[in-house]
Structure 1
Amino acid sequence: MLKKFFYSQKIAPYVFILPFVITVLLFWVAPISNGVLLSFQDVLKDEWVGTKNYSRLLSDKNFFKAIFNSVKYMIGTLVLLIPFPMLFASLLNSKLMKRSGLFKSIYFLPALTSVVVAGTIFRLMFGEASSSLANQVIGLFGASPIKWLKGVNTSYFALLLIACWRWTGVNILYFLAGLQSIPTDLYEAASIDGASKWQQFKKISVPLIKPTTVYVLTISIYAGLSMFLESYMVFKGNNSPNNIGLTIVGYLYRQGIEKRAMGYACAVGLILLVVVMLINLVQLKITGTFDKEEK
Structure 2
Amino acid sequence: MKRMLYSAKAAPYLFVLPFILTFGIFWAYPLVNSVIMSTQDILPGQVTSVGLANYERIVGDRLFWLAMGNSFRYMALTLLILIPLPLALAVLVNSRISSPRLTNIFKSALFVPALTSVVVAGIVFRLMFSETETALMNQILGVFGLEPERWLRNDGTALVALLLLATWRWAGVNMMYFLAGLQSIPEEYYEAAAIDGANAWQRFWHITVPGMKPTIVYVLVISVYGGLAMFLESFMIFGGNNSPQNIGLTIVGYLYRQGIEKNDLGYASAVGVVLLVVILAINLVQLGATGAFKKEATR
Letter in 2 for 1:75: A
Q: Per-residue displacement from partner, 1:80-133 (whole Å, max 9, x unpaired)? A: 000110011000000111121111001101111111111111111111112211
Paired with 2:183 and 2:2, the residues of 1 have a C-alpha distance of 45
Match of 2:276 among 264, 273, 278: 273
State how 1:246-285 maps to structure 2 within 5 Å: 246-285=249-288
Q: What's 2:25 paired with?
A: 26
Q: Does 1:127 align with 2:130?
A: yes
Paired with 1:132 and 1:5, the residues of 2 have a C-alpha distance of 66
Q: What's 1:57 paired with?
A: 58
The alignment's TM-score, normalised by the length of structure 1, stands at 0.97
Paired with 1:21 and 1:129, the residues of 2 have a C-alpha distance of 53
Q: Does 1:163 align with 2:166?
A: yes
Q: Per-residue displacement from partner, 1:51-82 (whole Å, max 9, x unpaired)? A: 11111111111100000000000001000000
Q: Per-residue displacement from partner, 1:168-194 (whole Å, max 9, x unpaired)? A: 000000000000011111111122222
Q: What's 1:147 paired with?
A: 150
Q: Does 1:41 align with 2:35?
A: no
State how 1:189-208 maps to structure 2 within 5 Å: 189-208=192-211
Q: What's 2:87 paired with?
A: 86
Aligned to 1:43, what secondary structure does the other structure show?
Answer: strand
The alignment's TM-score, normalised by the length of structure 2, stands at 0.96
CA offset at residue 8 of structure 1? 2.0
Q: Does 1:183 align with 2:186?
A: yes
Letter in 2 for 1:43: I
Q: Alignment identity in percent?
A: 58
CA offset at residue 28 of structure 1? 1.1
CA offset at residue 42 of structure 1? 1.2
Q: What's 1:108 paired with?
A: 111
Match of 1:290 among 263, 271, 293: 293
CA offset at residue 7 of structure 1? 2.0
Which runs of 5 or more structure 2 residues have no equivalent in the other structure?
none
Match of 1:172 among 171, 175, 186: 175
Deviates more, 1:46-55 or 1:86-95: 46-55
RMSD: 1.0
Q: Per-residue displacement from partner, 1:226-276 (whole Å, max 9, x unpaired)? A: 000000000000000110000000000001111111111101110110010
Aligned residues, how many? 294
Q: What's 2:10 paired with?
A: 11
Letter in 2 for 1:216: V
Paired with 2:164 and 2:111, the residues of 1 have a C-alpha distance of 15
Aligned to 1:271, what secondary structure does the other structure show?
Answer: helix
Paired with 1:147 and 1:282, the residues of 2 have a C-alpha distance of 39
Deviates more, 1:160-169 or 1:188-197: 188-197
Aligned to 1:119, what secondary structure does the other structure show?
Answer: helix
Paired with 2:273 and 2:120, the residues of 1 have a C-alpha distance of 30
Aligned to 1:219, what secondary structure does the other structure show?
Answer: helix
CA offset at residue 23 of structure 1? 1.2
CA offset at residue 285 of structure 1? 0.9
Aligned to 1:50, what secondary structure does the other structure show?
Answer: coil
Q: Per-residue displacement from partner, 1:180-233 (whole Å, max 9, x unpaired)? A: 011111111122222222221111111101000000000000000000000000
CA offset at residue 6 of structure 1? 2.1
Q: Per-residue displacement from partner, 1:19-38 (whole Å, max 9, x unpaired)? A: 11111111111111111111
Which runs of 5 or more structure 1 residues have no equivalent in the other structure?
none
